[in-house]
Amino acid sequence: MKYRFQYIESVPSLPNAAMVRGSFVHRVLELLLARAAQDRTLDAVRKDFEIAEGEFRLRDDFRLLLLDATSEADFWESCRECVRAYYRIEQPATANIVELEKWVSTPLGEFELGGFIDRLERDDDGLVVSDYKTGAPKPLRFSTDYLRQLTYYALMCETQLNETPHSVRIYYLGGGKDEHTRDERVVTQAVTDATLADVRDTARRVFGEIEAGKSSGEFATNVTNLCNWCDFKQWCPAHGGDIGQALAAGTERVALRRREAGLPEKT
């Protein structure tokens, strides 16, 4: 159902601070790790943070947060804390980066799967697909969805680079400063024939369900506590909403926020 709201009905959604923080921290680490290993110094990361901050202050998603002075100070501090957490789990000069923000894709029968890998690194055993999460660390058993997302990228690497990564890895950068060990923050899962087959099967099944939903108009809902953070809850049929109102009301909601943020109307 969320897919329907977002990609079929094209209902615009509003950014939230967690999403923007995630993009911001990715950008800082992208700038840092794009430097030669010996140049990834503390001065460099401070500079990269400033560059990214300058970029984000001009971006619509940041401006749409409508942060007041206190919330904005808290926002930048939470971003700094994520970068500090990164330093507690890795010395950037030691990261053996192969690619950053690399586009990969693979055909899967009737459709093509594609996306940007945030970070592709190489260790003694070969390639590793990795990503940062700016939320608090989750144990392996609760990281399954994230790891599956990364395994899709491993599948695409297999096709496009002719090399199958041996592992996928999440670097968790959120949560309290002294609350998590390095092992809790770095979660790695091996890529195996079984995990690759699982994502191939899942992609085909989901693609089939979307195509069936487009024909029948029926899309599955998944009511959990996470609905409280869903941008479309008020129009979701599972919560008594009217999907027919979503596009107009969602467009008006974003237009109003853009006016409040002093941004031009979107054409």
- Of the candidate residues 223, 248, 256, 261, the single one contacting ligand SF4 (CB under 6 A): 223
The DSSP code sequence of 138-198 is: --GGG-HHHHHHHHHHHHHHHHHTS---SEEEEEE--S-TTT--HHHHEEEEE--HHHHHH
Rounded to an integer, what distance in angstroms lies between the CA atom of residue 164 and that of residue 178?
35
Do 92 and 28 touch, CB atoms closer than 8 A? no
Rounded to an integer, what distance in angstroms lies between the CA atom of residue 261 and that of residue 125?
49
Which span (24-32, 131-139, 223-231, 247-255) binds ligand SF4, by CB under 6 A? 223-231
Task: Give the Å distances, CA to CA, from 110 to 49, 207, 227, 243.
Answer: 42, 9, 31, 29
- Of the candidate residues 236, 246, 250, 257, the single one contacting ligand SF4 (CB under 6 A): 236
235 binds ligand SF4 (CB under 6 A): no
Which span (26-34, 80-88, 135-143, 233-241) binds ligand SF4, by CB under 6 A? 233-241
Rounded to an integer, what distance in angstroms lies between the CA atom of residue 29 and that of residue 182?
18
Nearer to ligand SF4, 64 or 236 (CB): 236
In the complex, least distance from residue 258 CB atom to ligand SF4, rounded to whole angstroms: 23
1 binds ligand SF4 (CB under 6 A): yes
In the complex, least distance from residue 228 CB atom to ligand SF4, rounded to whole angstroms: 8
Nearer to ligand SF4, 113 or 246 (CB): 246
Nearer to ligand SF4, 13 or 251 (CB): 13
10 binds ligand SF4 (CB under 6 A): no
- Of the candidate residues 2, 40, 63, 169, the single one contacting ligand SF4 (CB under 6 A): 2
Which span (95-103, 118-126, 130-138, 227-235) binds ligand SF4, by CB under 6 A? 227-235
Rounded to an integer, what distance in angstroms lies between the CA atom of residue 10 and that of residue 26?
26
Within residues 238-257, the interface with ligand SF4 by CB under 6 A covers 238-239
In the complex, least distance from residue 244 CB atom to ligand SF4, rounded to whole angstroms: 15
Label residue 194 exposed, middle or buried (CB < 10 Å: 0-12, 13-18, 19+): exposed
Rounded to an integer, what distance in angstroms lies between the CA atom of residue 230 and that of residue 33?
33
Within residues 147-206, the interface with ligand SF4 by CB under 6 A covers none
From first CA to last CA, the distance across the chain in angstroms is 26
Cα within 13 Å of Cα(52), Cβ side? 23
- Of the candidate residues 71, 192, 221, 245, the single one contacting ligand SF4 (CB under 6 A): 221
Sheet strand arrangement including 111-123: 97-108, 111-123, 126-133, 167-172, 186-190
Nearer to ligand SF4, 182 or 239 (CB): 239
Footprint on this chain of ligand SF4 (rule: CB under 6 A): 1-2, 221-223, 226-227, 230, 232-233, 236, 238-239
